[in-house]
Amino acid sequence: MSDRFHVTYLLTLTADEDPEERIRALQLEQSAELPDHVVHSLGMQHVAGSVTSVTSLDASVERLRGALRQLEVTIAWPGNNHGSEITQLLNVLFGNISMKTGIAVTDIRWEDLSGGNATILSGSAFGIARIREKWDIHGRALACTALKPMGFSSRKLADLAYRFALGGVDIIKDDHGLADQHTAPFTERVKMCVEAVDRAAQKTGRRSRYFPNVTTDPHRVAERYEQAAGLGADGVLLCPMLVGPALMHHLARLNTGLPIMAHPAFSGPYVAQGIAPGSTDTRQEFPATDSTAKRDVTGSTVRAGSPSTRKKAHVTVPHGFEPGLFYGGLMRALGADFTIYPNTGGRFSFSRETCDAINDHARRDGQPFARCFPTPGGGMQRDRMAHWLDTYGIDTTFLMGGSLFEDPAGIEAASRAFMEALGA
């Protein structure tokens, strides 16, 4: 692991902002959190990290429909700043600056954070290659579906699992809304669903895998994860942004033998939606400059004023994590073997280029982590499966839920057709 870790940010500036001042404010806010002259007087300049590159992206400003400038800035942060703790690493990446405007995290040099005796991130425990070997599934994409709705009894959910398994679906996961409700308590539900999958395997000769949702209060997640293993589950579903991203990495290091599927619930506010490298199609509003200004703790200029004193013109600029980096790269680095994201054209607004970027980050070679399965879902239809299979490739797990439930042929027949569409 390097003694520095490199992070690239996309900064969007108004026409009257000083680029050097804006960059220095970023360095200070994410480190010493003191004015520049105080940092120098204390002899702590090294804590702020060093700027290794600045690239102007002014050519793209016309798409922003405003008098704005964009800079791509890479900062090499000292390794001591994260103290070998994932929570502090995330704090350095996007802590206080997440509450400022027009800042997107677009790249992280992962090799700076993995390797040697001081590794802070280890990535997926299994990844694509080991899961294929473990389950003896080769040469095709994987199929996944979800047990729902919330409010069904354990017995009804188990019956669904049985019918999905008869149809041959590779992974049958809990919907992320299934937790430990009285209608389907966790232990009872897992026992019944494991038994249902086993019973279907005796009939078909091929076993589906069941992933219960282990998302719960953080201090109980590891216990529930190990309980799932003890009850015969084949993997788990986890919402890392609900329990804390570092906790998923901890689970991936436990010796339970269960792969982890990361669900994106609660992640929306962290992500610059719609932006992929070179794109500026996001939802973050950037207020036009007004006549009121003040200085923040680092000494940089910030805009103030009530809504009534601001100009009404707004433009849309990138803010948050670039989604390919977040859902593909970060989830992979934090231990996800499968990373769910909303596919383009479904119930959510992700673009095709965003989905391509997520797939790339999840599976790209040359990273210090095992490749993980991108898992697009959110309104996928079977009649489009050939298209998505050709587009995303076989190292993909396709998540199809609602369309299997509404198929007039029934769940078992719909599941079988789903598998046939994937070449199973």
For residue 317, what pLDDT is reported? 82
Read off the pLDDT of each residue in 173-191 and give the average, rounded to a whole number.
98
The pLDDT > 90 percentage for the chain reads 79
Q: Above 90 in pLDDT, residue 405?
A: yes
Residue 273 pLDDT grade (very low, low, confident, very high; cuts 50, 70, 90): low
Class of domain 127-267+322-421: alpha beta
Q: Above 70 in pLDDT, residue 250?
A: yes
Query: What are the start-end ranges of the H helices in 11-105?
Result: 19-29, 36-41, 86-94
- Both tokens assigned to 283: 């939802």
- The domain locations on the chain are 4-121+283-317, 127-267+322-421
Residue 78 pLDDT grade (very low, low, confident, very high; cuts 50, 70, 90): very high
Q: Which CATH number fits domain 4-121+283-317: 3.40.50.2300, 3.40.50.300, 1.10.240.10, 3.30.70.150?
A: 3.30.70.150
For residue 311, what pLDDT is reported? 44
Number of Cβ atoms within 10 Å of the Cβ of 188? 15
For residue 122, what pLDDT is reported? 96
User: pTM here?
Assistant: 0.91
Look at residues 342, 399, 339, 400 and name the one whose alpha carbon lies nearest to residue 370: 339
Read off the pLDDT of each residue in 112-137 and give the average, rounded to a whole number.
92
Mean of pLDDT over the chain: 89
Quick check: do 4-121+283-317 and 127-267+322-421 share a fold? no
Q: Above 70 in pLDDT, residue 282?
A: no
For 138-178, write each residue's pLDDT tens digit.
Answer: 999 999 999 999 999 999 999 999 999 999 999 999 999 99
Look at residues 392, 396, 394 and name the one whose alpha carbon lies nearest to residue 339: 396
| Lateral strand order in the sheet of 103-108 | 50-56, 68-78, 4-14, 103-108, 320-321
For residue 64, what pLDDT is reported? 52
